[in-house]
Structure 1
Amino acid sequence: MKKKFYSNGKLLLTSEYVVLDGAIALAIPTRLGQSLSVEAVEGKEITWVSLDENDVIWFQGSFERNKLEPIAIGDGQQYKEIAAQLSNILQITKVMNPSFLAEDHGWKITAKLEFPRDWGLGSSSTLVNNIALWAKVNAFDLLNKSFGGSGYDIAAAQNDNPILYSRNEENKRVETVRLPWQFTEELFFVHLNQKQDSKEAITHYRRASEKNNLHIDALSEITKEVATCKTLSEFIKLMSSHEAIISSIIHRPTVKKQLFRDYPGLIKSLGAWGGDFVLVSGKDADQAYFRKKGYRTIVPFTKMIK
């Protein structure tokens, strides 16, 4: 019997970094996500294939069913690292639910991404949520025990509407919201032609800043105002203030100062600064500015969000 699970991709619009310390964040699920197909087969191995958005294999390997250790993988260091990550996730899942993969047969697993891996839409979080759905374990706990992070991406994977997300040491709060934005036709996403490592970004944040309740409160308030604002001018003002605060926290210049100093509209970093997508305000004609600079992956807001 074949089963299929699906999780949404994500973009974090506000409270990047500081969501780790309890700030309220606004996140949106994306139209593109990742599926996981699982099928019982004869044998005692778990065979795994990962496909990209063009159905090209970017990882394949097999794992021993009981110990869940890699037994046959492709060549190259990248394959070995991915196999080790998958093995770790499966082993953690098995501890969380001992009946997981306990049946006396093998498995054929196919993971299928709908977005390019360097887009930063959550190839890891969608995988974790799909495995959690399959194994019937808590996805937030599985993420925490494997990759770590705030968990906002898991919340986005599980919801089809924008969310306000916050967490403390014991609880997570997820509130779905309807954004009253009448200006989304004047927003688009630009990819910076590189992927940012979330773990490295978190490490930098921890080294650069100590928990500051004033920052947490300020960014939480901005987030709530962003989620209820109705005009583009108000949105730009709020997001520009947000950029300035984050810049002061992590001691890095904003992406606009670094790369697009002469652009007249808003440019807002999303998630870990320095890579993946930025959110931009402007007309369709303004996209030419970025293309001339070599940034050719541009997605309208309305085509990105779910």
Structure 2
Amino acid sequence: MTQTFYSNGKLLITGEYVVLNGAKAFALPTKFGQKLIVDESDGALIGWTSFDYDGSIWFEDSISFSSITKKERFDDGNPMKNTLIEILHEAYLMNPDFITNAKGYSIKTELTFPKFWGLGTSSTLINNIAQWIEVDAFELLKRSFGGSGYDIACAQNNTAILYQLVDEKPTIEIVDFNPDFADKIFFVYLNKKQSSKSAIVSYFNYIGDVQKTIPTINKITKTIVETSQLKEFALALQEHEIVLSSILKLLTVKESLFEDFDGVIKSLGAWGGDFVMAVAKENPTVYFKEKGFEVVIPYHEMIL
């Protein structure tokens, strides 16, 4: 019997990094995501094939059940195999039935976005595996990759969300976000994928006392979610960039790359890579392409 699971990609609009310290974050699930297709097999192993958005295979290998239960590591220059074993091992500890009551599996994953875009290759995988094995996806993330879990919340919801860690547990509030100025919002890929895991480690290595900034971030998030005015929305994004720039001791993306841009640019997720959000009165596609950034996606083509 074939089982198919699907999870949404994600974009973190406010609260990047500080969501880890309890700030309220605003996040949007994307129209792009990832499928997990599971068929029964034999041989006490999982035959795993991962397809990129264009149908090309970007990972293919076999993983024995014993490698999963023992959390075996391989030094073959393919970190994806070790990553999968780590995730599946933690899932096994949470619910061993998928190993103890099975002969084997043939598994395919299918991305609907290029894997280097950073829209949640890992979070959609973890959420899909959690659905398949019937374990809690937030707990599986915590045990394997770490992170705030907002990306898991996006994987599971088809609408905008407010996300906050309260006593280290996720709280999710569904938000009706469909502003009249959505046609002024664009997402631009910065031509390099940022490792969220590495960015989180770096963040904790150099942050000071961020608690005093959390009320400010929460207020900005509230404004961004609730305002019906483009100008107020843009100014709130700009203020968010300034606050995070001060915490991270980094230039804003507009200062470093787009100083002459006529509009507001907001970093998303891990600063320095993946996508940024651009807000402009006129379509800025030509501006970004002239600077070498070819992927410019309008709001309604990106967001669920």
TM bucket, shorter chain: over 0.9
Is 1:213 aligned to residue 211 of structure 2?
yes
- Residue 28 of structure 1 corresponds to 28
Deviations 1:140-188 (A, max 9, x none): 0000110000000000000000000000334211001001411011110
Secondary structure of residue in 2 paired with 1:50: strand
Distance 1:62 1:70, change over 3 A: farther
- Residue 143 of structure 2 corresponds to 145
- Residue 239 of structure 1 corresponds to 237
Asked if the contact 2:71–2:89 (Cα under 8 Å) also holds between the matched residues in 1, the reply is: no
Is 1:46 aligned to residue 21 of structure 2?
no
2:153 to 152, 155, 174: 155
| Structure 2 residue identity aligned to 1:212 | V
Which moves more between the two structures, 178-187 or 199-208? 199-208
- Residue 194 of structure 1 corresponds to 192
TM-score (structure 1 length as normaliser): 0.95
Asked if the contact 1:100–1:135 (Cα under 8 Å) also holds between the matched residues in 2, the reply is: yes
Distance (whole Å) between structure 2 residues aligned to residue 118 and residue 33 of structure 1: 13
* Deviation (angstroms), 1:298: 0.6
Structure 1: give runs of 5+ residues left out of the alignment: none
Deviations 1:229-253 (A, max 9, x none): 1011010010000000000000001
Q: CA RMSD in A?
A: 1.6
1:292 to 274, 290, 293: 290
Deviations 1:275-294 (A, max 9, x none): 11100012554221111010
| Structure 2 residue identity aligned to 1:108 | S
* Deviation (angstroms), 1:86: 0.3
| Structure 1 residue identity aligned to 2:43 | G
- Residue 303 of structure 2 corresponds to 305
2:259 to 254, 258, 261: 261
Distance (whole Å) between structure 2 residues aligned to residue 286 and residue 65 of structure 1: 51
- Residue 90 of structure 2 corresponds to 92
- Residue 16 of structure 1 corresponds to 16
> What does 1:39-188 correspond to in 2, within 5 Å?
39-68=39-68, 77=77, 80-188=78-186
* Deviation (angstroms), 1:36: 0.2
Structure 2: give runs of 5+ residues left out of the alignment: none
| Structure 2 residue identity aligned to 1:15 | G
Which moves more between the two structures, 82-91 or 196-205? 196-205
Distance (whole Å) between structure 2 residues aligned to residue 211 and residue 3 of structure 1: 47
Secondary structure of residue in 2 paired with 1:202: helix
Identity of aligned residues (%): 45
Distance 1:105 1:19, change over 3 A: same
Distance (whole Å) between structure 2 residues aligned to residue 169 and residue 207 of structure 1: 22
| Structure 1 residue identity aligned to 2:134 | K
Deviations 1:10-67 (A, max 9, x none): 0000010000000000000000100000010133221000000011100011111244
| Structure 1 residue identity aligned to 2:15 | S
Distance (whole Å) between structure 2 residues aligned to residue 262 and residue 104 of structure 1: 59
Asked if the contact 1:62–1:70 (Cα under 8 Å) also holds between the matched residues in 2, the reply is: no
| Structure 1 residue identity aligned to 2:147 | G
Deviations 1:206-250 (A, max 9, x none): 122134222111101111111101011010010000000000000
Secondary structure of residue in 1 paired with 2:34: strand
* Deviation (angstroms), 1:200: 1.9
Secondary structure of residue in 2 paired with 1:33: strand
| Structure 2 residue identity aligned to 1:166 | Q
Distance (whole Å) between structure 2 residues aligned to residue 104 and residue 3 of structure 1: 14
Distance (whole Å) between structure 1 residues aligned to residue 169 and residue 49 of structure 2: 35
Distance (whole Å) between structure 1 residues aligned to residue 60 and residue 209 of structure 2: 41
Distance (whole Å) between structure 1 residues aligned to residue 167 and residue 112 of structure 2: 33
